[in-house]
């Protein structure tokens, strides 16, 4: 039996899981989504993901036809039906089937899709050796135009940046905001370590408020590490002692080179490794 995909209350075989070509999620990127992990059958940070999904939907005036509790149950059921313990869960809410015009009021009602699968974002060896990233010319969306806080189905800004990174031989791109300050990567938030303190751009830099970012800041504070959300420039990164990225799929991954410049000694730093270890421990015990 193959993988089953949830669409609006029904579980379909993977190759039968389809949406209409008139869905505004497809026609206009009109919708929101979440990427969630399950570790050993426990869904990590599910409440935080529900909170962000419902807020993303609210920000684009999209009604999710479930309570958070009901959606959580549907996610749990889909995961269990597929017999998955370690999984990547993609929850998508689209505006639903409409006409060829933009008007969301002409859509029949939002559609909820839950896909459960496995994921490997970066090869294992990069967690040991560290990742190389590159600053790209594509600027992060201006928050006043389309807030990066909204995890919408329109990821073109990130995809354009990703294309530049791949063309430069890197797996991830560093995106700056219109002020030239560090924002985030295409699918990950960024941190540096300077003089023993952990620094990361604030929400006002125009970032997605990552759930892994929040968890890592929490872990660090509990460890007595000073954590500051402050604007960073490229030169702050070049002169950092350590650098790493966080994300649901990536978890905590060290960065050792940015724009072909070595960060610190060019190997994953001690604080990065400590936080990575503590994050792993948390995924092994917490929901």
Q: Which residues are catalytic?
A: 151
Reading the block at residue 91, the tokens are: 């929850």
Q: Between residues 188 and 242, which has the closer beta carbon with respect to ligand PMP?
A: 188
Q: Between residues 32 and 193, which has the closer beta carbon with respect to ligand PMP?
A: 32
158 binding ligand PMP? (CB under 6 A): yes
Q: Between residues 97 and 190, which has the closer beta carbon with respect to ligand PMP?
A: 190
E-assigned strand segments in the chain: 4-7, 10-13, 31-39, 42-43, 87-94, 111-117, 131-135, 172-176, 182-185, 189-194, 197-200, 227-229, 242-247, 251-258, 261-262
To ligand PMP, the closest distance from the beta carbon of 187 in angstroms equals: 4
In angstroms, the Cα distances linking 6 to 16, 76, 104, 114 are 11, 11, 23, 5
Closest CA to 38 of 82, 103, 68: 82
To ligand PMP, the closest distance from the beta carbon of 65 in angstroms equals: 23
DSSP state of 148: T
110 binding ligand PMP? (CB under 6 A): no
187 binding ligand PMP? (CB under 6 A): yes
To ligand PMP, the closest distance from the beta carbon of 175 in angstroms equals: 8
Angle between helices 211-222 and 46-59 (to 10 degrees): 130
189 binding ligand PMP? (CB under 6 A): yes
Q: Between residues 4 and 213, which has the closer beta carbon with respect to ligand PMP?
A: 213
240 binding ligand PMP? (CB under 6 A): no
* Interface region with ligand PMP, contact rule CB under 6 A, candidates 12-20, 105-113, 246-254, 256-264: 246-254
To ligand PMP, the closest distance from the beta carbon of 208 in angstroms equals: 4
Q: Using the rule CB under 6 A, which residue among 143, 210, 254, 264 binds ligand PMP?
A: 210
Give ∠ CA 153-75-149 in degrees, rounded to 5.
35
To ligand PMP, the closest distance from the beta carbon of 148 in angstroms equals: 6
Binding residues among 27-86 for ligand PMP as defined by CB under 6 A: 35
Q: Between residues 97 and 208, which has the closer beta carbon with respect to ligand PMP?
A: 208
The total number of residues shown for the chain amounts to 287
| Strand, helix or coil for residue 134 | strand
Q: Between residues 143 and 210, which has the closer beta carbon with respect to ligand PMP?
A: 210
How far apart are alpha carbons 57 and 110 in whole angstroms?
10
Q: What totals of helices (H) and strands (E) does the chain contain, helices first? A: 8, 15
247 binding ligand PMP? (CB under 6 A): yes
Contacts of 242 (CB under 8 A, 6+ apart): 192, 193, 254, 263, 264, 268, 269, 270, 271, 272
* Interface region with ligand PMP, contact rule CB under 6 A, candidates 59-67, 127-135, 205-213, 252-260: 205-213
206 binding ligand PMP? (CB under 6 A): no
- Are 27 and 17 spatial neighbours (Cβ–Cβ below 8 Å)? no
Interface contacts to ligand PMP, rule CB under 6 A:
35, 158, 184, 187-189, 208, 210-213, 246-248
């Amino acid at each position: 039996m193959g993988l089953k995909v949830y669409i609006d209350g029904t579980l379909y075989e993977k190759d039968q899981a389809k949406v209409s070509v008139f869905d505004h999620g497809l026609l206009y990127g009109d919708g929101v989504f979440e990427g969630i992990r399950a570790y050993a059958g426990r869904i990590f940070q599910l409440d935080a993901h529900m909170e962000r999904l419902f807020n993303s939907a609210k920000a684009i005036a999209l009604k999710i036809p479930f309570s958070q509790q009901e959606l959580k149950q549907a996610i749990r059921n889909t995961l269990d039906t597929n017999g998955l313990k370690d999984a990547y869960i993609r929850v998508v809410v689209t505006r639903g089937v409409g006409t060829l015009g933009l008007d969301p009021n002409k859509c029949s009602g939002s559609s909820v899709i839950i896909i459960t699968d496995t994921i490997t974002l970066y090869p294992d060896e990069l967690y040991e050796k560290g990742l190389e990233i590159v600053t790209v010319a594509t600027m992060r969306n201006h928050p006043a135009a389309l807030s990066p806080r909204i995890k919408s189905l329109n990821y073109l800004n990130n995809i354009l940046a990703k294309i530049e990174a791949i063309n430069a031989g890197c797996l991830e791109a560093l995106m700056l905001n219109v002020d030239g300050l560090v924002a985030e990567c295409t699918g990950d938030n960024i941190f540096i370590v300077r003089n023993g303190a952990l620094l990361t751009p604030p929400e006002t830099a125009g970032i997605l408020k990552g759930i892994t970012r929040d968890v890592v800041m929490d872990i660090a504070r509990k460890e007595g590490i000073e954590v500051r959300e402050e604007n960073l420039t490229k030169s702050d990164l070049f002169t950092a002692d350590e650098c790493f990225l966080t994300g649901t799929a990536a978890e905590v991954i060290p960065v050792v080179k940015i724009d072909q410049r070595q960060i610190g000694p060019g190997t994953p730093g001690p604080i990065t490794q400590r936080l990575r270890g503590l994050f792993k421990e948390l995924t092994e015990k917490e929901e």
